[in-house]
């Protein structure tokens, strides 16, 4: 297999490190994937079920909305049933932040300049310190402060950055530094420019995202462009893809963006052709089925599924396993870039699943042996 790894040549922005529960963010830690629930937080059973689906998809951090006291208090019943740290989404009301911190939130998404008097800010900061809770300053182009809209006339990157720094100063003046910042916009160019400017004037970890990106397809495209752009430039410590879709879909897209850039690897990465009249089997249907059948695998494995011999052998050189369509229903299977055996169309998907699972077992055995040898 090729040793070419382009991401090794991307120099990540140096930032300070904070923690969201047990998960480190910034300071060279792996870039994490986030999502947000869309259930009523007071419906503990539904919220926990949704978080668990996101966990199976590979989420690192989950945010839940706490618009009222009942929701903030429900957190204590949610956090004990899930494995990932939970961020409480707070707007305006400082008591909700305190209640969320006391209920087990790992992080508060709150803009301190919007919760009132300095005394209220001090109370929130004290609750965060007492309970080991970090914060996220979340600036959004759709909800900028009135004085900034009057100053700039409309949302723009400069206004987003100024808002973020104003909120950051409030926390810094209270000697609180366990926070990350986001400056999101639904406009890709505005968001990219804002993150670029913010990265130049502070060393806080950056939570990056294109807010309100849209439907599953359109939002995925916008997010891939915006997030991919900044990640390629070395910016970003944690990501959230914002889609009008279920949270686990956001997680899958987030992981696909990271995997496409070689930043993090999880599960089976399928390289497949768009198919054409040369295909020896139904590529589209095969890939769709394999994605479903292999979704449970977390160990990184690469698999190429190519319909004919034009590009099949070349792609197989760069993947752990590969399949190339052949004539007379005989398809070539590759292992570690080399031809291994042929198979027929009958039971093809089952056979590929078995090969992948065997490869995963071999990788895990090697990792276990290496760990024992190191000890």
| pLDDT tens digits, 29-51 | 999 999 999 999 999 999 999 99
Q: What is the pLDDT of residue 327?
A: 80
Asked whether the predicted pLDDT for residue 313 surpasses 80, the reply is: yes
Q: Using CA atoms, how far apart are residues 98 and 90, in angstroms rounded to an integer?
A: 10
Candidates 177, 171, 196, 200; CA nearest to 185 is 196
Positive or negative, the Cα torsion across 309, 310, 316, 322? negative
For the ranges 154-168, 186-200, 207-221, 325-339, the lowest mean pLDDT is seen at 325-339
Do the domains 12-260 and 268-374 sit in the same CATH topology, yes or no? no
Per-residue pLDDT tens for 14-25? 999 999 999 999
Do residues 206 and 180 make contact, with C-beta atoms less than 8 angstroms apart? Answer: yes
Asked whether the predicted pLDDT for residue 1 surpasses 50, the reply is: no
Candidates 106, 82, 110; CA nearest to 96 is 110
List CB contacts of 257: < 8 A, sequence separation 6 or more: 223, 224, 227, 228, 231, 239, 241
Q: What is the pLDDT of residue 5?
A: 58
Candidates 146, 107, 143; CA nearest to 24 is 107
Domain boundaries, the chain: 12-260, 268-374
Per-residue pLDDT tens for 81-94? 999 999 999 988 99
Asked whether the predicted pLDDT for residue 278 surpasses 60, the reply is: yes
Do residues 51 and 84 make contact, with C-beta atoms less than 8 angstroms apart? Answer: yes
Q: Using CA atoms, how far apart are residues 170 and 293, in angstroms rounded to an integer?
A: 50
Do residues 302 and 269 make contact, with C-beta atoms less than 8 angstroms apart? Answer: yes
Q: How confident is the model at residue 4 (pLDDT cuts 50, 70, 90)?
A: low
Q: Would you state the structure tokens that stand for residue 61, as one six-digit string? A: 């951090």
Residues of the chain with pLDDT > 90: what percent?
90
Q: What is the pLDDT of residue 116?
A: 84
Asked whether the predicted pLDDT for residue 109 surpasses 60, the reply is: yes
H/E element, 269 = strand 268-272
Positive or negative, the Cα torsion across 262, 265, 270, 274? negative
Q: How confident is the model at residue 328 (pLDDT cuts 50, 70, 90)?
A: confident
CATH topology classification for 268-374: Sulfite Reductase Hemoprotein; domain 1 (3.30.413)
Q: What is the pLDDT of residue 33?
A: 98
- List residues bridging with 54 in a β-sheet: none
CATH 3.20.20.20 fits 12-260, yes or no: yes
Q: What is the pLDDT of residue 3?
A: 55
Residue 190: CB atoms within 10 A of its CB come to 20
Q: What is the pLDDT of residue 88?
A: 98
Asked whether the predicted pLDDT for residue 10 surpasses 90, the reply is: no
Mean pLDDT of the chain: 94
Asked whether the predicted pLDDT for residue 281 surpasses 50, the reply is: yes
Residue 41: CB atoms within 10 A of its CB come to 24
Asked whether the predicted pLDDT for residue 275 surpasses 60, the reply is: yes
Q: How confident is the model at residue 348 (pLDDT cuts 50, 70, 90)?
A: very high
CA quadruple 103, 109, 114, 118: dihedral, nearest 10:
60
Q: Using CA atoms, how far apart are residues 375 and 371, in angstroms rounded to an integer?
A: 6
Q: What is the rounded average pLDDT of the residues 251-266? A: 94
């Amino acid at each position: 297999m090729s040793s070419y790894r382009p991401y090794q040549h991307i120099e990540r922005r140096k930032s300070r490190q904070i923690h969201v529960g047990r998960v480190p963010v910034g300071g060279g830690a792996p870039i994490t994937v986030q999502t947000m629930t869309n259930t009523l937080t007071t419906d503990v059973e539904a919220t926990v079920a949704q978080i668990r689906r996101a966990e199976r998809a590979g989420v690192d951090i989950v945010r839940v909305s706490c618009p009222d006291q009942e929701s903030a208090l429900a957190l204590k019943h949610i956090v004990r049933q899930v494995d990932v740290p939970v961020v409480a989404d707070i707007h305006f009301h400082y008591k909700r932040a305190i209640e969320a911190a006391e209920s087990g939130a790992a992080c508060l998404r709150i803009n301190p300049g919007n919760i009132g008097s300095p005394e209220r800010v001090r109370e929130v900061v004290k609750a965060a310190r007492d309970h080991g809770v970090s914060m996220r300053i979340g600036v959004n182009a759709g909800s900028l402060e009135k004085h900034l809209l009057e100053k700039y006339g409309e949302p723009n990157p400069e206004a987003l950055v100024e808002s973020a720094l104003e909120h950051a100063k409030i926390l810094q003046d209270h000697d609180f530094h366990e926070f990350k910042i986001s400056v999101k916009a639904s406009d890709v160019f505005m968001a990219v420019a804002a993150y670029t400017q913010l990265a130049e004037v502070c060393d806080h970890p950056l939570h990056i995202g294109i807010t309100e990106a849209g439907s599953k397809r359109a939002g995925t495209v916008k997010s891939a462009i915006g997030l991919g752009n900044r990640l390629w430039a070395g910016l970003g410590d944690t990501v959230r893809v914002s889609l009008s879709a279920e949270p686990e879909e956001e997680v899958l897209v987030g992981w696909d963006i990271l995997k496409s850039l070689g930043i993090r690897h999880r599960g089976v990465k399928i390289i497949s052709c768009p198919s054409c009249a040369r295909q020896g089997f139904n590529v589209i249907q095969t890939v769709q089925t394999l994605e479903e059948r292999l979704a449970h695998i977390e160990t990184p494995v690469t698999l190429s599924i190519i319909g004919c011999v034009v590009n099949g052998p070349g792609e197989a050189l760069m993947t752990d396993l590969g399949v190339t369509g052949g004539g007379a229903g005989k398809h070539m299977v590759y292992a570690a870039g080399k031809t291994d055996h042929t198979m027929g169309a009958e039971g093809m998907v089952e056979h590929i699943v078995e090969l992948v699972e065997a490869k995963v077992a071999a990788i895990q055995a090697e990792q276990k042996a290496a760990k024992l040898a190191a000890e």
